[in-house]
Chain A
Amino acid sequence: MGKVEIKTNAPINYQLKTRKKWLTPKRAPYVFIAPAIILMLIFTVYPVLSSFILSFQEVRGIEKTFVGFSNYTRLFQDPVFYKSLLNTFQLLIIQVPIMVSLALLIAVGLHSSMVKGRTLFRIAFFMPAITALIAASIVFMILLDEHFGLVNYFLSLFGIEGIKWLTSPFWAKASVILVMTWRWTGYNMVIFLAGLQNIPSDLYEAASIDGAGKVKQFFWITIPQLKPVFIFTVVMSTIGTLQLFDEPFILTAGGPNNATTTITLYLYETGFKYFEFGYASAIAYVLVLITAIISWIQMKLVGDDDK
């Protein structure tokens, strides 16, 4: 790198003597991609492959022995792993629709011609999406305290007493969903808003000439036109939820009784609390498999859209 820069830093030289350049347009792209590719080979490609091999090994200290599929067969008999899969999917199936419809509603509200100060609203709604997940989780952990938390205080004003937000299995899941929804709704809303702005306005004009009301227009024009944005947000949220870690790690540490243990949290504990690298790699590969299936479904859905 260093040598190359010295040459290019002397442009006058080039113009005086039309000397042959070392960095020809033919070689240039390879030089430009080299840093990215080298880094990816070392820090992504190698670990992905190495992790695959690890998932068939048992690691004791520095000793690694091949154990065939036994990590995987153990996974299928591991109740905590099943629990973490189930939890992750429960969170996903409940949280993603709530968040996506909320995001869409807010976006439609903001997009409406009646609303002024759209930029200001957009900034305010987007604020949670810039905070560290850990900061959000900590703040909510305090807000959701069973005895002294503000949330239960407000609820008590309406006669609802003592919800065990972080200590009952049901409410602990609800808390994780609450924090995720707070953190990500604005983010998805911004994406929907941009999608709404891309819908040609003559579609609506034509519809209102035909006598279609606002509600009809929403279901006949807005929703179908937003289909690609829908797919994008749902898939991104799904993949994000599959990797959920920070919120349950801080809020509940996976408890009570593993009610909020997620796949990634279980992977972290297996790998870095119990140092079972082989087993943790098998967990990671199940995660890869699930993500691949979801991405494949997404490609199918988008592909159908092109027809």
Chain B
Amino acid sequence: MTLKSRPGSLGKRLTPYLYLSPTMVLMIILMLVPIVIVIGYSFYDNVIMNKHPVFIGIKNYAEILTDKNFHQTIYNTAFFTISSVVFHMIIGLTFSMLLNSKLLHQTTRSIFRVIYVLPWVFTAAIIAILWRLMLNPNGIVNYFLNIFGTIDSKVEWLGSRDTALYAVTFINIWSGYPFYMVSLLAGLQGISIDLYEAAEVDGANSVQKFLYITIPQLKPIIVSMAMLDCIWTMQQFSLIWMTTGGGPIRATEMLSTYTYKLAFSKYEFSQASSSAVIILIFSMLLAFIYVRKQKARD
């Protein structure tokens, strides 16, 4: 049972793979195989609906990339993803700093931590339902805005082209920041107190401590999370689908809803696969940059 690396070079070279083997087995069987199948699908005229699919090369890709609705989709997805990631980060960092404040009693902190983590514990369907109710023209949000005299008409937050994309992004920010907050909270615990004490001796104020100690110390976590969040947000589906269905008039159409409609509304499974592969390529690009960056840091 000993894994202590033996001098034998083969054993030594294999050790890291031994530790990785359970992950690899799962990932290869359950993730790589289906992905390869999907990539395969994307080169046929149509699968699942057709008994005898015909190989057509990259025609599906050409069709999608020249679809004018697809361009709108890219814009929406970029806006949605970048805003979500940026605000997740800002809000997550702010809240985790506040919750980590030594000025507060431990019980106070515990209570606030539980409140702040609330948006995270609900399934997408219920978040969508809840916000649809609140942002309904006759909902509580309009009611408060009316009372405080900010508006006097019924704003259709999710039903108007002008506001729907912002509203959906807002909901996604709300539902996603606790994930950052919790991870950063854990990260903050790892920063040695000595660093801060040393800085205090040098006469650093809190802003300086934040900029020169906290941020650099958290940077690896922040970068990893931002990259993963980009990948996840890019394919966020349920929340958008159940709040707006991509509407009104494609105002909130994202790569994910676009892909879904290709698959289960038009039954063009091959085109949907191509669209999925396009998303995969984007993400691989991100992952590539991330890994390169990591290498540079090492």
Partners in one complex: no
Residues of A within 8 A of B (CB): none
